[in-house]
Amino acid sequence: MLPIKWDISFPAPENPEFTFIDLFAGIGGFRIPLQELGGKCVFSSEFNYHAQRAYEYNFGEVPFGDITKLNLDIVPKHDILCAGFPCQPFSISGKMKGFEDTRGTLIYHVFELIEKRQPKVVFLENVKHLVYHDNKRTLSTIVQHLAELGYVVSKKVLNASDFGLPQNRERIIIIGHKETKFDFAKIKKKPKPALKDFLDKENEFEYLDEPYTILDEQKIQDSGLVFAGYRNKTIRKAGVRPGTEHLSRVHKQPNRIYSTEGVHPALPSQESSGRFWIWHEGEVRKLTIQECYRIMGFPNKFKLLNNKAELYKQIGNSVAVPMIKAVGEQIKKQLLKIEK
């Protein structure tokens, strides 16, 4: 049973300072930080059923489903249009078809909505590879469309590790405004943390089976790589860099499990089995679901709904909450001229 209205984790502010809409909303990675900044969400859209349920569970409303079937007239006027539009067509882990892929055309429905409602600010997020896709023509097409709609466009690749999260999750942020160019240099950054500071002290941890456990013999190169062997049918040697925390899927990369002293590559998207392994206190174990959500910057009060496979997949597809908040804070100051 879903919670009653006053039991939701993230109620809308009573006296909002600005309004926004949340397209391709996922589980609410945009909504949480923008509400914290005083914004009120007046419309949301998310196609995935499981993500819809998680969104309702935490925000008390069900997002609209298929954006391709959206009647634009039902969308209220708003200050900021937010869209972490589907990244699979532009990702190096996908087929790289870009706008030839059906999902790639979803961005055009965003353009239609922008043309209809003319928001003050357009706030888009996508994978870093969008910058280079199709010899940079895909990104140029997006920027060109926004310019044709009357927006001054700014763009920059940002890394979640610069915003207090222990993962190297790089994403391109695209900001459009009717008059002003957004200054990314004013965004406040935070020190890079270590993964160990985000781990559960107690939980029912799942440890790697003994045949894969790290051998006693380990060698350290001058470069700082630690070579750790793993028992399997054959002994494998793996490069492990202390201070470069890594999450890995053991079934595909059994020779890449890393320590917990620093920052690691991103939680992989589309991963439903949750094979995110770390070497911690002499043992190899899987990151818990709670740890994965914490590593993406979701507050502890975020309520987890759905089975484990869906939970791991949803967080891998989400946005880094503190990074979105840092950008949103400057949108509020620079473009909306709200100084609170």
Q: State how far the Cα of 195 lies from the Cα of 198, in Å rounded to an integer.
A: 5
Distance of CA 266 to the CA centre of its chain: 9
Residue with the two structure tokens 């895909």 = 138
Exactly one of 41, 82, 87, 292 is catalytic; name it: 87
Beta bridge partners of 157: 172
Task: Compute the C-alpha angle 82/88/92, nearest 5°.
Answer: 120
Tell me how far apart the alpha carbons of residues 214 and 20 are, in angstroms, rounded to a whole number.
49
Rounded to whole angstroms, the Cα distance separating 126 from 86 reads 8
Q: Determine whether 82 is an active site residue.
A: no
- Residue 99 in contact with residue 141, Cβ under 8 Å? yes
State how far the Cα of 314 lies from the Cα of 271, in Å rounded to an integer. 9
For the annotated catalytic residues, the residue numbers are 87
